[in-house]
Amino acid sequence: MEQWFKRATDFNPNYYAAFDAKLFYLEPKWYGSREEMLAFGRQCVTSTSWGGRVPVILRDAHEALAKYLKEEEQPAYWKQPAVWADLKAAFEKFFTLNPEEISLRHNYALYAYRAEQWDDLNRQLPLRREINYDLFGGQVQYETMIRLAKAHAKKLVVLGSGDRRT
């Protein structure tokens, strides 16, 4: 696998399918482990050699790992601080490399919602264009998310001489 991965990424360092195939190979049900998946995903975020969609491999690693859990355990998984740190790093790196690409803003917002990271969610909401309601579980679920995001928005207090405090 490593030989073919190297060949593919030497030819095209941003070839997402090669990274996705390696991540699949690293799943615990095949030849890897949770730790190897996360290490590879984090490498995809920190590397200066890879770009394009490669940083979101870390998000994909967490998606795959969450599927190993019972459905009722999955919401708590997304709220773990270490999981959110990984997701935020992956999306921030992706948008740093691809500032004009807005298609994943919905995804960033969805994971911020799952993690109850209200400030990050509120920052993402105005950055998306058309809304893919299906991604959020339908229009009703999306509107619920918006209401919760607004309810948790930090209130900005304006003090004298232009100082601000939340």
The number of beta carbons lying within 10 Å of the beta carbon of residue 18 is: 21
Stated pTM of the model: 0.89
Give residue-wise pLDDT tens across range 38-89. 999 999 999 999 999 999 999 999 999 999 999 999 999 999 999 999 999 9
Band the pLDDT of 157: cuts 50, 70, 90.
very low
Percentage of residues in the chain with pLDDT exceeding 70?
93
10 Å CB burial of residue 28 (0-12, 13-18, 19+) is middle
Query: Rounded CA gap, 124 and 99, in Å?
Result: 13
Band the pLDDT of 128: cuts 50, 70, 90.
confident
Band the pLDDT of 154: cuts 50, 70, 90.
confident
User: CA–CA distance from 15 to each of 19, 126, 129 (Å)?
Assistant: 7, 30, 27
